[in-house]
Structure formats: structure tokens, C-alpha cells
Structure 1
Amino acid sequence: MNKVMLVGLLAVCAAGPLVAQNGGAQPTAVEAHTVTRLSLGDEVSAVGTLRSAESVILRPETPGRIAKIGFVEGRPVKRGEALISLDAAVQSAEQQQARASLALARANFQRTEDLFNKRFVSQRALDEARAGLRVAEAADQVAAARLARMTVRAPFDGIVGIRQVSIGDYVKEGADLVNIEAIDTLKVDFRLPERLIASLRVGQKVTLWADALADAQFTATVAAIDPLVDAEGRAVRLRATLDNRAGRLRPGMFARVRLSLGEVREALVVPEQALVPTAAGQFVYRVVEGKAVQTPVKVGQRQGTSVEITEGLSEGAEVVTAGQIKLRDGAPVKVVAPVAPAAAR
């Protein structure tokens, strides 16, 4: 290499750093959000299951053959309405026999009482006639009870489900016949950590959502708090009730609940996408004079897509909500408008 070429190469190398220093790094395009205040209440979320106000599976108390089905599946029924009747020919005959014996015992007692008043019979005869009458009355009551058990009636107003039997089926005592549900009022059972027990009380309002009705919101009221804390999960069970006369909700549905524990307060909030989680905690990037400033924060409760910031930010601060993956502390940034989602084709 001659002397002229060596001098030229050294000149190029010397000029390189000067170009980089003069040009500077290009700012990273990011989306940002201004920290604002929002009215928040102390709330806690949980999941639960909807249950009927009253629910029972009807079962016969005595075996027999089904003679009549007196309901339409899925339709409302009234308390005391006869739903299923078993063949009661034998029980009906037993009741007629008991009534005949009762009539005879009553007549015998009246005759014996008249004779006793005329002093034609002894006190013993009168006592025996009275005892015979009481035995006949008890036998009549037993026969009536056996006959009544051959008819299964609705224990409360509700809606009957899908029956498990047909006319002519022979069923044993305790066999499942049909379920009946009272759903004008529903219950929702859910659990909360035991650390919240001092803040729980009957009458608190619960906001409820069902996944099957994503856009609908319902209000329930805490009706009972289980006095027993689950020793394994360290949780307390609560039951809330809600009006369901519109019939939109059904027992067994999965529900998401939110319970308000305190009064509404003003809090600083940021979109949840502004948070960057790390092993040491969470932080956000603030935009300060065109640069990204990494700022540790402490978070509180969440409400929808907003997160409460309890420490680290002040109202009016501008935080990065998109583009954090390309940033480092002190990197130059340029705030741009959010990108609208592409229209579906």
C-alpha cells in the first residue's frame, strides 16, 4: 500500500464518527396516554355459579306404577298441584275399609255412651268403646296418608324440568321423577379471601355478568355470609340474591361478580397496556421532553381496562401505551396517533 492510499484511509476512518455524532439516533414512534383521574370504589372480583331460589328433584315415597302425569315439561306449576299420580287402587280400598270401621266404631261408642248414662253398662264398657273409636280414627288417618303419598305434588311455585319417567313405568321409592326449579329469584354463590372478612356484610351490592349474556349487567345483594371459613382455601363463602322475573338467567350458569367494599374515591389510572412487568416489579415509560423515562410504579385495583396507580406517577403525565418493546431508558421517542384497526374484508 502506497503512502497516498494510507493517508486517504485514515481520513475516512477519522470522518466516520463525526457523521454518526452529527446525525444522531432516529426517535422511536410510540403511542401515548395522559394520566387522568377516575372515580373508583374499593372492589373485589370473583366467579360464581347461579342457583335456583328453590330446587328439588321429586321422588315418590312409596313404590308403584305411574298412572297419570299432570304437567307439561318446562312449564310453570303452582304449589300443591298434582304432578304425578301412582296407581292407588289398593290404597283407596284400604281407606274405604278404614272409613267403614270408623263409622261402626263411632256408632258403637254413641250407643255405649247412651247405655252408660242410663246405668245399663259399666264404666269399663264405655272406656273400651271410646278406645275402639280412637283406634278406628287413627286407622282412617293412616289410610288417608298412604293414599295421599300416591300423588306427587309441587312443593312450591316453579318450573318443572324434563321428566325421567312415562305412564306405566314402575318406580321404586326414591326414584328420580322430575326436577322443579323456582327461578324468579336466583342465588349466586362465590368465595372471597379470608383477609376481606372484616369488610363483608349482608346487604352489600354485587354487580354480576354472565358469559352467556356478555352485554348484560345485573345487580344482586349479599344475603348471607357463611360463618365457616374454608380451612383449605382460606376463603369465605357468600351468597347473593337477584331478581330474575324477566327470566334471562338460568340456574347453573357461570357468573362473574364484582363486590363493592368501600366508598367511591378519585384515583390516578392508566391503560393496562402501559404497564411493563419485570421480576423487580412493574414500570411505565413516561414521555419527558421527547425522551422515554423508565418509571417504576405501584398498582392498585383494576376496573375494566384501566389500572390504578398508587405510586410513581402524577396527574397529567404522558405514558407510552404502545411501542415499549423498542424502548430503553432515555431513548428518543415521537408520539404518534393510535393506528386504527384494519377493516375486515
Structure 2
Amino acid sequence: MKTIHYNYLLLLLSLCIFSGCSSSESADTKSKKMTGQKHAANFKFVQVSASKVGQEIQLPGEFLAFQQVSIYPKADGFVQKVLVDRGSFVHRGQVLMVLEAPETEQQLVAARSNYLKAQAMLVASKEHYRRLKASSKITGSVSALDLESAQARMMADSAAAMGEAANFEALTQIKSYLTVRAPFDGVITERNVHPGALVGSGVSMSGPMLMLQQQNRLRLVVDIPESYSLGLRQGKQVTFQVNAMPGKLFNGAISRRSGNMSQKFRSETVEIDVNNSSGNIRPGMFAEIMLSPEGTRGALTVPRTAVISSTERQYVIRVNASGAAEFVEVRQGQQSSTMSEVFGNLRVGDKVVVNPRDDLREGTQIAMN
């Protein structure tokens, strides 16, 4: 009797355990299904596009004179007159300074005298040769040696005359150097000499006699970082603001590009021509350039949140045609506040996960809404 009662209790206990396990397994299965449905519902997708990522960047720049020249003496001499001063507006060809060199004047006089002497001797030699040649037509009147000697003398006098002419022209040119003229329209920004000063190539000078700048047109020089330089093109419109004139915006266009990267700063220097006919902007002033570079050629665009970065790589999660997750390695380019350029094994129209999760594994089936 005790044995029957004991077997009955054992049977009831087994049924309870079996029922509990089945309920637990059913609950776990249901929980996993609900969790999978929840994950699938939370995933968002976007298509890869080729749109441009345009983020405005602000870079410092400096104004430089369009033309600038340091005026040094071309000939040795003393300063006789200084006709301009710091701040003087001058025109091309205008006389700026007059130098004096008495020895140059005397050398020029002597050179002119030697030139006239050589010309006279050349005229006499030509006439002598002409007469001998005319007389040689009469047989026996002039020897061949005399005729050849007269011709050689004429040629020698001609060469001497040419040499004296060249010397005279050289000294005339040196004398013209004593009058210093402006090479272009501009403003005198520096003056370092006064009347009576000795100047010349052999004289130790602390600086140029004068400094001339063209200021009605300026160069705005700015260094573009390597990551943005490829997206720039010549003639692109830019906006800039002069630090000394807050609140006022100016427009310009990229006029020149250096075409190489600075080894020190890894940047490309570009220039923007600025019309400064009003004269309000001075060379040496600083400006802030607002630039919106164009997208990098060949780049695709995805939201920044779609790019996953780890210590080993950067990748996006693409959903293939069968709905499975694929990890595609990419490299980022230019970025804006919401979008990023990417380079990798992607094509326009591919669907990528915008809000990837840490527990999402490659090959996982993702429901497409």
C-alpha cells in the first residue's frame, strides 16, 4: 500500500516538472520572437546617394599688395633730390628721386668724344678705300696690296666705331639710372634715404631707398587644408570678412592656385583678387574667408550615424537583397553636421542601417519595412 502511494506521488511530481519546463520554453521562445520583432521595428534605413556634402568652413587669410617692389639704386651716386615721401601716390614713369655722380658725367663726355673720333676715322677710311678702288680700274695705277690694306683699315675703323658707340650707349644708360622712376602706379610706403646720402651697389644699406606698393588692387592669400583643396575650382565665389571691419561682408572669386601642397602645413595656397579702389583695406590686414567646398569627386554620401568606427576599422551595415546584414568597410571624406562622404564597396541606391546596434551581427536577417 505504501509502495502504491509512493509511486502515485512520484508520478504527480514528474507531471508538474514537465509542465513547468514546457511553459518556460514556450515563454522563452515567445520572448525571443518579440525581441526580434522589436529590433526589426527599431532599425531605420536610408539609401546611399551621390549628393554633395557642403559644410561651410572658415579660414584665416591675409591681404597683400598686388604688386610690391623695393627700389634700390642701379648706379652709384649721391642723392640729390627726393621728390616723394611715405604715403605719396605716384604714377608709372613718375620721377621719384634724382641722383648725382660727377664721374659718370665726365665718363659720358669722354665716351662721346671717342665715339665722334672713331666715326671721323671711319669716314676717312671709307673715302680712302673708295678712291683706291676707283683708281684700281686703271691697270698698274694701284697695287693689290694697297687696296687690300685700305679695305682692312676701313673694317678696323668700323669695328672701333661700333665699340665706341656701345660704350657711349652704356654710359648713357647708366646716366639714366640716376633718375629713379616709378615702375607702376602705387603708394610709397617706405622711405629710407635723404639728400646727400651715398647709395649704390657697393654701399652698405640697411634697406631699400623706397618701397612702392600697388594698393588699388589686393591679393587675399589663404591656405586651404588638403582635405578641402581637391574640391575647389578656380573662379569659385567666396565670401570674406575683414577683421578690422566687423559686420561687413565682401565677395570675391578664387583667381589663382599654387597647385602644390605645403610640406610644412599640408595645405594649398590660393589667391583672391580684391578690388580696393576705395583704399579702405590695407595690405597686411587679416580676414576670415567663408568657404563652401564642393564634394570630393567619386564620393558617396550617407548619414554620419550610419558610419561605425572602431579601433580597427570604419564600416557601414548594408542590407542585401535577401535582407541579411553586410559589413562594408569605408573611409570617410568631408563631413557636415549630419552627412558624411564615404569611399568603399558601395553603390548609389544601396540600403544601409542608420541606427546600428552593438548586438547586430553580420549575416543577421533584418526585416525591411
TM-score range, shorter chain: 0.5 to 0.7
Structure 1 segment 140-219 matched on structure 2, within 5 A: 140-173=168-201, 175=205, 176-219=208-251
**3-state SS of 1:166 partner:** coil
TM-score norm. by structure 1 comes to 0.62
Equivalents in 2 of 1:88, 1:82: separation in Å?
17
Equivalents in 2 of 1:73, 1:236: separation in Å?
35
Say if 1:186 and 1:241, in contact at 8 Å, map to a contact too. Answer: yes
* Higher gyration radius (CA): 2
Say if 1:53 and 1:185, in contact at 8 Å, map to a contact too. Answer: yes
Task: Output one character per residue of 1:256-281: Cα deviation in whole Å (capped at 9) or x when no partner.
Answer: 11123249xxxxxxxxxxxxxxxxxx
Equivalents in 2 of 1:163, 1:74: separation in Å?
10
Say if 2:190 and 2:212, in contact at 8 Å, map to a contact too. Answer: no
Identify the range of structure 1 (125-134 vs 157-166) with the bigger mean alpha-carbon deviation: 157-166
Equivalents in 2 of 1:103, 1:184: separation in Å?
49
Alignment match, 2:115: 102
Structure 1 segment 77-116 matched on structure 2, within 5 A: 77-116=90-129
Equivalents in 2 of 1:221, 1:169: separation in Å?
45
1:58 corresponds to 2:66: no
Equivalents in 1 of 2:252, 2:105: separation in Å?
49
Equivalents in 2 of 1:249, 1:53: separation in Å?
12
Deviation at 1:61, TM superposition (A): 2.5
Deviation at 1:310, TM superposition (A): 5.3
Alignment match, 1:227: 259
| Higher strand residue share | 1
**3-state SS of 2:260 partner:** strand
Structure 1 segment 263-282 matched on structure 2, within 5 A: none
TM-score norm. by structure 2 comes to 0.58
| Higher helix residue share | 2
Equivalents in 1 of 2:186, 2:108: separation in Å?
32
Amino acid at match of 2:123: Q
Deviation at 1:162, TM superposition (A): 3.2
**3-state SS of 1:214 partner:** coil
Equivalents in 1 of 2:240, 2:101: separation in Å?
48
Task: Output one character per residue of 1:41-84: Cα deviation in whole Å (capped at 9) or x when no partner.
Answer: 64322101100000111111333221111224312111122212
Amino acid at match of 2:253: T
Alignment match, 1:244: 276
Deviation at 1:309, TM superposition (A): 5.1
Q: Relative contact order (alpha carbons < 8 A, sep ≥ 6): 1 or 2 greater?
A: 1
Alignment match, 2:156: 128
**3-state SS of 1:49 partner:** strand
Say if 2:85 and 2:191, in contact at 8 Å, map to a contact too. Answer: no
Query: How many equivalent residue pairs?
Result: 231
Say if 2:76 and 2:101, in contact at 8 Å, map to a contact too. Answer: no
Equivalents in 2 of 1:203, 1:43: separation in Å?
17
Amino acid at match of 1:81: Q
Deviation at 1:93, TM superposition (A): 2.0
CA gap of 1:41–1:228, structure 2 versus 1, over 3 A, is closer
Equivalents in 2 of 1:309, 1:199: separation in Å?
19
Residue identity over aligned pairs, in percent, reads 23
Equivalents in 2 of 1:77, 1:125: separation in Å?
53
Say if 1:53 and 1:187, in contact at 8 Å, map to a contact too. Answer: yes
RMSD: 2.3
CA gap of 1:51–1:217, structure 2 versus 1, over 3 A, is same
Deviation at 1:204, TM superposition (A): 1.1
Alignment match, 1:284: none
Structure 1 stretches of 5 or more lacking a match?
1-39, 264-299, 302-307, 312-345
**3-state SS of 1:126 partner:** helix
Equivalents in 2 of 1:258, 1:225: separation in Å?
17
Equivalents in 2 of 1:260, 1:209: separation in Å?
15
Equivalents in 2 of 1:51, 1:162: separation in Å?
16
Structure 2 stretches of 5 or more lacking a match?
1-52, 134-146, 296-334, 341-369
